[in-house]
Amino acid sequence: MNIVMLTNTYLPHVGGVARSVAAFAAEYRRRGHRVRVVAPEFENQSADETDVVRIPAIQHFNGSDFAAPLPVSGLLSEELDAFQPDIVHAHHPYLLGMTAMRIARYRALPLVFTHHTLYEQYTHYVPADSPAFRRFVIELATRYANLCDQVFAPSESIATLLSERGVETPITVVPTGVEVAHFAQGDGAGFRRMLGIPEDAFVVGHLGRLAPEKNLGFLAQAVARFLAAEPRARFLLVGTGPSESAIRAVFDREGLGDRLQLAGILQPPELADAYHAMDVFAFASKSETQGMVLTEAMAAGVPVVVLDAPGVREVVRDRRNGRLLRDETAEAFSAALQWLANLPQEKLRQVSQDALATADGFSMARTADKALACYQALREKSFVTRSQEQERWEQVLRLIEAEWEIIKETAQAAVTALNEPETSGRPLP
């Protein structure tokens, strides 16, 4: 198959969507499919990347580390004429998501949408943030999903939520798979030496975008509380983002700045080393749609401590492959870290084995199988033969229809958001 993916974030951006698109694209190519990724320009992007079409974009939109792609009307026509896609896959409902809809409608192709993100958790990046705007983005994503042929939900929790919000398009749960073999091997001891972490230290780790929506203020306080009670413990933080200085401030204020290890952005070979340098992976975000970094940590045999949340509860089994906490206090989180630190070696090995088994259930091979089966079913359902003249006329009509649907659904989403009470757009449990 020829698959075109359109995403508003892509490498080298640090984030789950970018990594998900890259992982699926790599797996599809390994199986002999052709994949073209359409994504915004980002600073420090690779100069020799292949099968990626970059769209001009505004960098650091509203002071964030996101790039906002500019309108691309007509820019992709020649590229897609040559590529001849069979499937159009949108990874966002806006910006390049709208472009994906135009492409799919114009070319009479199946449109797949992965609902990666709880968009209402990210409206603080937009100057117009308000309760009404948060209701608007929920409504817009729901209406966009209903204009697609297939929706992928990264977890059962999100699939249930989308149905409750009114998505009627078929929904299939397709998490981002983990490359189990890649993360199973890593030089944790060498990574510790590189950062000056003692060999006998108990290392609490975290990896991801360091941003406010990730609940990192809570995480920093909880881990600092644990470090204060456990002299041999260190905190290893992998990634960058706007919350980095606030995390530093917490540890400096507690007199623990010398036990905070900041590794910055790491490339894939180093990520496995970083995971293997950890004794436990700590995660407090409640804005996720799946536990992608959790399954990566587990593939390295690292147990996790997390707050109960959608996308997380599908992965973590309390006291088996880590700790799943419903008590959202720094005291409870610190105590869970202490529980792991105090486990006898035999019990710790069993927890690590359970983590490995969990990761295997989320392997990229399994998740790619599900996605490709959906693609193939959509292709078979939509295949028709038309004369060339008829096809050209229908392309024009479909493009007009797509533009009208985009305008109509965006307007209706805005009206609904403004008219509904602030309690609408039910938050996730």
Structural domain boundaries in the chain: 2-177+364-419, 180-361
What letter does residue 306 receive in the DSSP assignment?
E
The percentage of residues in the chain with a pLDDT greater than 70, rounded to a whole number, is: 85
- Does 388 have pLDDT greater than 90? no
Q: What is the pLDDT of residue 190?
A: 97
Q: pLDDT for 210-219, tens place per residue? A: 988 899 999 9
In this structure, are residues 175 and 155 in contact, taking their beta carbons and an 8 Å threshold? yes
Q: What is the pLDDT of residue 65?
A: 53
Map residue 337 onto helix, strand or coil. helix
State both tokens at 143.
């209406």
Q: pLDDT for 78-102, tens place per residue? A: 899 999 999 999 999 988 999 999 8
State both tokens at 118.
């709880």
Average pLDDT of the chain, as a whole number? 88
Q: What is the pLDDT of residue 192?
A: 98
Kindly indicate the confidence band of residue 11, based on its pLDDT and cuts at 50, 70 and 90. confident
Q: What is the pLDDT of residue 425?
A: 46
Kindly indicate the confidence band of residue 337, based on its pLDDT and cuts at 50, 70 and 90. very high
Name which of 264, 300, 267, 265 is nearest 281 in CA terms: 300
In this structure, are residues 98 and 406 in contact, taking their beta carbons and an 8 Å threshold? yes
State both tokens at 390.
């008829």
Q: What is the pLDDT of residue 414?
A: 72
Q: What is the pLDDT of residue 153?
A: 97
State both tokens at 181.
């073999």
Q: What is the C-alpha separation between 97 and 287, in angstroms, rounded? A: 21
Map residue 3 onto helix, strand or coil. strand
Burial class (CB in 10 A: 0-12, 13-18, 19+), 82: exposed
In CATH terms, the fold of domain 2-177+364-419 is: Rossmann fold (3.40.50)
Mean pLDDT of 124-135: 73
Kindly indicate the confidence band of residue 178, based on its pLDDT and cuts at 50, 70 and 90. very high
Kindly indicate the confidence band of residue 390, based on its pLDDT and cuts at 50, 70 and 90. very low
Q: Spelled out in words, what is the top-level CATH class assigned to the domain 180-361? A: alpha beta
Q: In which element (H, E) is residue 54 found?
A: strand 52-55
Kindly indicate the confidence band of residue 375, based on its pLDDT and cuts at 50, 70 and 90. very high
- Does 245 have pLDDT greater than 90? yes
Kindly indicate the confidence band of residue 429, based on its pLDDT and cuts at 50, 70 and 90. very low
Kindly indicate the confidence band of residue 134, based on its pLDDT and cuts at 50, 70 and 90. confident
Q: What is the pLDDT of residue 421?
A: 63
Q: What is the pLDDT of residue 385?
A: 41
Burial class (CB in 10 A: 0-12, 13-18, 19+), 326: exposed
- Does 176 have pLDDT greater than 60? yes
141: Cβ contacts below 8 Å, ≥ 6 apart? 93, 115, 119
Q: What is the pLDDT of residue 428?
A: 43
Mean pLDDT of 252-265: 96
State both tokens at 320.
């088996």
In this structure, are residues 7 and 38 in contact, taking their beta carbons and an 8 Å threshold? yes
Name which of 300, 259, 303, 260 is nearest 280 in CA terms: 303
Name which of 103-112, 150-159, 167-176, 420-429 the model is least confident about. 420-429
In this structure, are residues 398 and 23 in contact, taking their beta carbons and an 8 Å threshold? no
- Does 203 have pLDDT greater than 50? yes
Q: What is the C-alpha separation between 98 and 82, in angstroms, rounded? A: 21
How far is residue 172 from each of residues 18, 46, 55, 380, measured CA to CA in Å? 20, 33, 29, 17
State both tokens at 236.
């290893």
The answer to whether 2-177+364-419 and 180-361 have equal CATH topology is yes
Mean pLDDT of 364-372: 96
Hey, what's the torsion of the CAs at 57, 98, 163, 284, to 10 degrees?
A: 0
Beta pairing class for 57-58 and 52-55: unpaired
Q: What is the C-alpha separation between 249 and 67, in angstroms, rounded? A: 27
What letter does residue 116 receive in the DSSP assignment?
-
**Residue 68, φ and ψ in degrees, nearest 5:** -100, 110
